[in-house]
A and B are shown apart, each in its own frame.
Chain A
């Protein structure tokens, strides 16, 4: 009997210890979802610290450093460990023209550069590997590649290498995602793209193969932020133009996958496909001798990244936002953060995409057609609480549709709706949306039931609470909103239906990562397929044309038009921006000369370690 009881106790203990250990492991490995409830006071305190003082001006909330505080002199040489935080291997298409995933672009960034460097507004400067001059009519740009700029195999970077990128991007067989407006706008590109000719008439190369002139069909201010300036080493990867190989073969080639070259500060010494890369210093780098001897990049899963940082095994890594609280406790690292060039928003369906004419058609009688209602819904959303409670302050209320990182174009003086349920109610009353049948929810101005279908994406543990929270917010002001089909929708099916203007969707939650060109035409233009709300207006078209037009080559004029457009979007509310977000980098304290500031001078070649 006694023996039996002992066995029971022993087995119970065993079970318990496994569970306890499992919990520890989980917490340590970053599943922080339970953190707030465990120690509410501490969390509260943390939030107050992070609370942006003035939510209207996102820049005011910035209190993370952009540059590491270690200003020590780096040791000569040394090795830096960089973690590519990803739960999947990197695909390994190491070509700027052909790659598709973000992990690949990280791998590329260490050995391959843009010919131009950019400033804080993501505009190209004359400090890079090449210099440029724009013609008086602003229609063509002449790019001169520096004499000391060489590929890793010693060959000089030629103008025809840059031409090669254009030849690949515009090639009839090209299936990547980068045949964009700025490529299509090159004179003669459409004819080349359709296979009518093998020459791109708008691109001319000098006799010494160091200078290239690109002429555009229309002058555009996007030139200085959107020009393609990544050359492709024709001699190394092989020439598609001579029929030596096809684009498909090129993408699958070892010259791109295991043995690529660039002209960046470090060159690839070895690749273990999908999981790690060893870079060595490129002594022939055009800016001078890079600081480090070598860099090791390895893929680390988000589950182990914090422990890896803590162990000192990894020097630089992006930290998943949901591990922020745990990351703060790690002593040997410093957290840097910057506002990401992205925003989340609620979109209101206002029309249809006319596929035949490739244009957006706004329906004035759309269910969401009343702009007072849309404004009210913006006022009703408590984005600050979302940012604080679910993201520990790493997301904060968004203001206009131009992300604050574009300091010249983001207009922080525009007054945007912030959480104010009373104001929302007043707007709805004004719109004539009142509760007629006394069920606690408003009817529309004709006295009919007003129930909105809300499409939101699944993914991550915050997706559901956020959707429910907004629905509660709207219910508080009397608008009945229900989840489309009562559930969240998977990414592909969500965008398929939003894109197809599914009549069941009235409002949806989406996000855009906007890239380095602030021009919003691709997302909000009359002819933009990505303009999912299908909002158009004469004023909108006029302003977007002005932003893309020739006159906007004058930066001041352009900033003015940007302001007007941002104001228009706040007045008309085709979309209500919800939150801006920070991204976090964890950096070991031994790292010096490292910064995530846009347009910083502390570029990759200067990164060093002090011990």
Chain B
């Protein structure tokens, strides 16, 4: 197992370098750079000054020179400066990462809390009214765009009912570190999390339901029933054990997807996270931030895949990692 993790980790390095190379090339192929838009609001700036700044940031060099320079610094943990934010990229991302991780984590937990019981109910009592209701919910959730649903949540729970705040991640007047502060943060998380979770359950419910239905007809279940195992036990000990396998395996990927953040939810709730930063940086051609973020999500993908493999080997005795 240790050998496996080590091997995968070592394999990660060339993967990430390749990824960064591709990203760098693509980023530089985009028209414009961080300086293009910056001076639009300030036409009095002298052309010499603009040229000087480009020169200083090395934006006039060919991309491979820029890439070499970037890579040299990146291995030392220096991802450069964000032109737009006038801040080291690492500081900038570190400031947003907490929000994104909290949002992602709670969204993932909520998704499983909602999806697993519903999936089990729908699978166990197929064609019952509960199943039909769940399947309908699933289709509606599948068809609802995130931004429409998030706006709806915002409107109903923040404005009509006024239960939850509509912007930000914490109430500014509350002293940080106190209990009230934690409560305020939690309150600010409810709407973004629920907006993501309620319509994010589709895959999990569907997988679970189908798998349970599938397992029900298997020979070993018939055997178990013939031996007189109580129905509840058939489900909890025999069927679920097998049906939860793919869900567990997905966990790693799920985490990967969540690190990226959700642009829609972040924008609508003015909840600052990485997703929004990514889009904003692309629009403003803030390359240093873009490459760093892609690298982070690249790392997350590789790690997530590895995690999925490990989880799978732990829960499924048929799979052994050498």
Chain B neighbourhood of A226, CB < 8 A: 44
Interface residue ranges of B108-165 to A (CB < 8 Å):
129, 132, 136-137, 139-140, 143-144, 148-149, 151-152, 154-156, 158-159, 162
**Contact status B270-A22, CB under 8 Å:** no
B72 at the interface (CB under 8 A from A): no
**Contact status A251-B36, CB under 8 Å:** no
B30 at the interface (CB under 8 A from A): yes
Contact of A492 among B37, B39, B46, B47 (CB under 8 A): B37
Partner-binding segment picked from A146-154, A199-207, A268-276: A268-276
Provide the bound-state CA to CA distance between A182 and B32, in Å.
27
What residue of chain B has the Cβ atom nearest to residue A17's Cβ? B140
A311 at the interface (CB under 8 A from B): yes
Q: Total A-B residue pairs with C-beta atoms closer than 8 Å?
A: 192
Chain A neighbourhood of B173, CB < 8 A: 270, 278, 296
**Contact status B45-A298, CB under 8 Å:** no
B276 at the interface (CB under 8 A from A): yes
B40 at the interface (CB under 8 A from A): yes
**Contact status B272-A89, CB under 8 Å:** yes
**Contact status B272-A304, CB under 8 Å:** no
Contact of A304 among B139, B158, B172 (CB under 8 A): B158
Contact of A299 among B83, B154, B158, B270 (CB under 8 A): B270
A340 at the interface (CB under 8 A from B): no
Provide the bound-state CA to CA distance between A216 and B248, in Å.
71
What residue of chain B has the Cβ atom nearest to residue A11's Cβ? B136
Provide the bound-state CA to CA distance between A100 and B86, in Å.
8
The dominant DSSP class at the A interface is mixed
A431 at the interface (CB under 8 A from B): no
Chain A neighbourhood of B269, CB < 8 A: 301
**Contact status A495-B154, CB under 8 Å:** no
B166 at the interface (CB under 8 A from A): yes
Q: A98-B86, A272-B168 are in contact. Are A177 and B42 (CB under 8 A)?
A: yes
Contact with A along B13-55 (1 / 0, CB 8 A): 0000000000000000011110011111111111101100100
**Contact status B167-A299, CB under 8 Å:** yes
Interface residue ranges of B261-288 to A (CB < 8 Å):
267-270, 272, 276, 280, 283, 285
A20 to chain B, nearest CB (A): 10
Contact of A25 among B38, B57, B96, B152 (CB under 8 A): B152
**Contact status B276-A517, CB under 8 Å:** no
Contact of B285 among A15, A28, A175, A492 (CB under 8 A): A492
Provide the bound-state CA to CA distance between A82 and B148, in Å.
27
A1 at the interface (CB under 8 A from B): no
Q: A22-B152, A26-B151, A184-B46 are in contact. Are A91 and B84 (CB under 8 A)?
A: yes
Q: A91-B84, A272-B168 are in contact. Are A178 and B270 (CB under 8 A)?
A: no
B91 at the interface (CB under 8 A from A): yes
Provide the bound-state CA to CA distance between A65 and B52, in Å.
45
28 contacts between A and B (CB under 8 A): A7-B132, A10-B136, A11-B139, A22-B149, A25-B155, A26-B151, A92-B85, A93-B87, A177-B41, A178-B45, A179-B49, A257-B87, A272-B172, A274-B96, A296-B173, A300-B166, A301-B167, A301-B268, A304-B166, A304-B270, A307-B158, A307-B166, A308-B166, A491-B37, A492-B31, A495-B32, A496-B31, A515-B44
Which A residues contact B (CB, under 8 angstroms)? 7, 10-11, 14-15, 18, 21-22, 24-26, 28-29, 87-89, 91-93, 98-102, 173, 175-182, 184, 226, 248, 251-252, 257, 270, 272-278, 296, 298-301, 303-304, 307-308, 310-311, 358, 490-493, 495-497, 512-515, 517, 522-523, 528-530
Which B residues contact A (CB, under 8 angstroms)? 30-33, 36-47, 49-50, 53, 56-57, 81, 83-88, 91, 95-96, 129, 132, 136-137, 139-140, 143-144, 148-149, 151-152, 154-156, 158-159, 162, 166-170, 172-173, 267-270, 272, 276, 280, 283, 285
User: Which 8 pairs show the lowest CB-CB distances between chains A and B?
Assistant: A492-B32, A493-B31, A251-B86, A180-B44, A25-B155, A529-B47, A89-B272, A25-B152
